A and B are shown apart, each in its own frame.
Chain A
Amino acid sequence: MAAAARLRLLAPLAARPQAAASTQQQRQSHTIWYPDAKFERDFKTAGMLTKLWIPDRISDYDKELGLDKLNKLMVNAPVQGDAVQLKQREKELENMILNFGPQHPAAHGVLRLVLKLEGEVIIKAIPHIGLLHRATEKLIEHKTYTQALPYFDRLDYVSMMNNEQAWSLAVEKLLGIDIPPRAKYIRTLFGELTRIQNHIMGITTHALDIGAMTPFFWMFEEREKLFEFSERVCGARMHANYVRPGGVAWDLPLGLMDDIYDWAVKYTERIDELEDMLSENRIWKARTQDVGIVSAADALNWGFSGVMVRGSGIKQDVRKTQPYDAYGEVEFDVPVGTKGDCYDRYLCRVEEMRQSLHIIHQCLNKMPAGEIKVDDHKVVPPKRKEMKESMESLIHHFKFFTEGFQVPPGATYVPIEAPKGEFGVYLVADGTSKPYRCYIRAPGFAHLAKIHDVCYMSLIADVVAVIGTMDIVFGEVDR
Chain B
Amino acid sequence: MSGAHAANFTAKDTEKENQLLLRELDEKVAEVCEKRRVYPAKYKEALEAGLDARLEWLTTAPVAGHILPAPLDVPKIVEELKTTSDDKDRLRARNEDLRKEIAKTQDELEAMHKYKQALYQAITGDTFVPRTLMLKRALLGGSPLVRAALAAPLSTSTICAQAQDTAGEKKSIKKPTIWKIDENVREKLANFGRYAAECLPKYVQQAQFAAGDELELLIHPDGVIPVLSFLKGNHSAQFTNLTFITCVDVPTRKNRFEVVYALYSVRFNGRVRVRTYTDEVAPLESACSVFAGADWFEREVYDMYGVWFNNHPDLRRILTDYGFEGHPFRKDFPLSGYNEVRYDPELRRIVYEPTELAQEFRRFDLETPWEAFPNFRNSSITSGYEQIELKQQQPPAQQEKK
Contacts and interface: CB of A to CB of B under 8 A. Distances in A.
A413 interface: yes
Interface residues of B, number: 64
B376 to A, nearest CB: 5
Contacts of B366: 144, 402-404, 433-434
A411 B209 CA distance: 10
B293 A303 contact: yes
Given A409-B373, A449-B293, A320 B179 contact: no
26 contacts: A135-B328, A144-B366, A174-B211, A174-B384, A175-B179, A180-B177, A301-B293, A302-B292, A303-B241, A305-B241, A305-B243, A309-B241, A316-B266, A322-B159, A331-B133, A334-B134, A402-B366, A411-B381, A413-B214, A424-B244, A426-B246, A426-B262, A431-B372, A432-B367, A446-B242, A450-B293
Interface string B292-316: 1111110010000000000000000
Interface stretch (B7-15, B64-72, B89-97, B317-325): B317-325
B248 A428 contact: yes
A402 to B, nearest CB: 6
Interface residues of A, number: 76
Nearest to A441: B244
Interface string A302-325: 111100010000111000111110
Contacts of A413: 214, 243, 262, 271, 273
A409 B211 CA distance: 9
B295 to A, nearest CB: 6
A434 B317 CA distance: 28
A404 B271 CA distance: 31
B335 interface: yes
Contacts of B383: 409-410, 431
A283 interface: no
Contacts of A445: 296-297, 300
B162 interface: yes
A167 interface: no
Given A173-B211, A301-B240, A431-B381, 20 more contacts: A137-B329, A138-B329, A176-B402, A178-B177, A300-B241, A301-B292, A302-B293, A304-B293, A309-B241, A322-B269, A323-B160, A403-B367, A408-B384, A411-B381, A413-B214, A415-B271, A428-B381, A445-B300, A446-B242, A450-B292
Contacts of A375: 177
Interface string B355-367: 0000000010011
B98 interface: no
Interface string A335-366: 00000000000000000000000000000000
B210 interface: yes
Given A177-B179, A178-B180, A432-B367, A328 B161 contact: yes
A415 B243 contact: yes
Given A320-B134, A409-B376, A411-B384, A328 B243 contact: no
Contacts of A144: 366
A315 B267 CA distance: 10
The 3 closest A-B pairs by CB, nearest first: A410-B384, A303-B293, A302-B293
Contact of B134 (A300, A309, A315, A436): A315
B84 interface: no
A439 B320 CA distance: 16
B380 A129 contact: no
Contact of A130 (B240, B321, B329): B321
Interface in B363-398: 363, 366-368, 372-373, 376, 379-385
Interface string A435-462: 0110101000110111001000000000
B391 to A, nearest CB: 25
Interface string A55-87: 000000000000000000000000000000000
A461 to B, nearest CB: 25
A446 B133 contact: no
B176 interface: yes
A450 B295 CA distance: 9
Contacts of A174: 211, 384
B131 interface: yes
Interface of B: 131-134, 159-162, 176-180, 210-212, 214, 216, 240-244, 246, 248-249, 260, 262, 266, 269, 271, 273, 291-297, 300, 317-321, 328-329, 335, 363, 366-368, 372-373, 376, 379-385, 401-402
Contacts of A177: 177-179
Contact of A139 (B243, B295, B335): B335
Q: Counting chain A CB atoms within 10 Å of each CB, which of B212, B214, B241, B379 scores highest?
A: B241
Contacts of B372: 406, 431-432
A389 to B, nearest CB: 24
A251 interface: no
Contacts of B262: 413, 426, 441
A88 B344 CA distance: 47
Contacts of A129: 318-319
Contacts of A432: 367, 372
A289 interface: no
B243 A422 contact: yes
Given A303-B241, A315-B134, A320-B134, A412 B329 contact: no
A333 interface: yes
A362 to B, nearest CB: 13
Contacts of A429: 381, 384
Contact of B266 (A300, A415, A479): A300
- Of A300, A424, A446, the most chain B CB neighbours within 10 A belong to A300
A478 B321 CA distance: 12
